[in-house]
Chains A and B, each alone.
Chain A
């Protein structure tokens, strides 16, 4: 009997990276896409007037559409994962 279930550990690492790092990255991509456009936030200038703007929506329509798409994919992936976990955790009675 093996003491370490390598295949399980491998799955945790790979799916962990995909979901735990990949989904936030997709979210970040959405933030980036959404920030593109004429109104994008400008950092404070060296002169110091006006603080950092924290405006998120930059005004580009394409960017916004892509962003929403990204966010929807993230939500769908999360929903699917939870569903899968539920299925695995409640094995059907024999």
Chain B
């Protein structure tokens, strides 16, 4: 939703509300990605509930840390990294279905932002070319309307990929526990609860990342916004239909950079892009390490009690990170403020506020 908010096509709270709703709908649209996560990455016979819990803990911690820093990291990769890490800690490298991992996760992860950037660049170039005789104001007006549509599609697309992953993990846990047969699809209650969780999470905490993507990376005008969103939506929907679990974060960022490249004179803040790329490269291994560590801890403490220990540590760390984030708050009021080099905008000087 970042581009729609940055260009003013949608008010921040409206955008987030629509996003929540459409994520929910998208979650029901395609079950292919959940299948990949549940059955295609690790050997379900080697997965225990402790492994899943530890994997989730690893993914969540890494995800929250990058959230605090406003870096749009891939929660998908954090999740997958965590689960892979804990699986390896539990059962060794042979439990991982490397072929599935590489062909359905790693390769799409690397290629999808490139494809998205290409599509967005071509889109941006043609949009500006076709409307070159319109005034800038008319163009902005028209594309802001178009952005409402493309923003809805991106949210829908996001639901088909990201909500699916969480469902996939829960399904994996159910299979590991024996509640479901190997190779099953996600049950309806899993689909509903995951869809709800994603909607809620978007509404509560998306602001920091929205700010980085909408203002920090490229200063976006609405034709670019629409081109970026359409490119993202198309690439994500197509990949989801193949069961490719890609990082919607990577795709969205690729699209945004593509629009910067497709418009003459647009500036891409490569240092911000660089920070993101670094975070991404580290995501899979880091969350894997945390996942493995969490497993070691849980296993050391024995069985169910061990899982509770990780959960308590997870809740404490999450609380700490959230509390820390309040000290440099980004919310719907300042999400569009001028970019001053860091994710939280500098507060207005007291004298200006007093004078006005």
Contact = CB atoms under 8 A, between A and B. Distances in A.
Interface of A: 1-5, 8-9, 11-13, 15-17, 19-21, 23-25, 27-29, 31-32, 35, 41-43, 51-56, 78, 81-82, 84-86, 88-90
Contacts of A88: 30, 32, 241
Q: Closest 8 A-B residue pairs measured CB to CB?
A: A89-B30, A20-B234, A52-B137, A54-B137, A21-B123, A28-B130, A20-B119, A20-B231
Nearest to B122: A21
Nearest to A13: B115
Contacts, number: 144
Given A9-B111, A24-B150, A43 B99 contact: no
Given A43-B136, A85-B30, A21 B231 contact: yes
Contacts of A15: 234, 238
B29 A1 contact: no
Given A13-B115, A78-B149, A89-B30, 7 more contacts: A5-B242, A12-B242, A24-B127, A24-B227, A25-B127, A85-B241, A90-B30
B29 A82 contact: yes
A81 B102 CA distance: 27
Interface in B100-149: 102-103, 107, 111-112, 115-116, 118-120, 122-123, 126-127, 130-131, 133-143, 146, 149
Query: Which of A16, A43, A56 lies at the interface centre, i.e. has the most chain B CB atoms within 10 A of its CB?
Result: A16
A78 B338 CA distance: 35
Taking chain A's interface residues, is the majority helix, strand, or loop, or is none over half, making it mixed? helix
Query: Which of B103, B123, B133, B244 lies at the interface centre, i.e. has the most chain A CB atoms within 10 A of its CB?
Result: B123
B97 to A, nearest CB: 12
Contacts of A42: 135
A16 B234 contact: yes
B226 interface: yes
B199 interface: no
A31 B119 contact: no
Nearest to A28: B130
Nearest to A17: B119
Contact of B119 (A11, A21, A52): A21
B122 A17 contact: yes
Given A29-B130, A52-B136, A53-B138, A21 B103 contact: no
B103 A16 contact: no
Interface string B284-326: 0000000000000000000000000000000000000000000
B239 interface: yes
Contacts of B103: 2-5
A51 B137 CA distance: 9
Contacts of B234: 15-16, 19-20
A16 B237 CA distance: 9
B238 A43 contact: no
Contacts of B156: 82
A24 B227 CA distance: 7
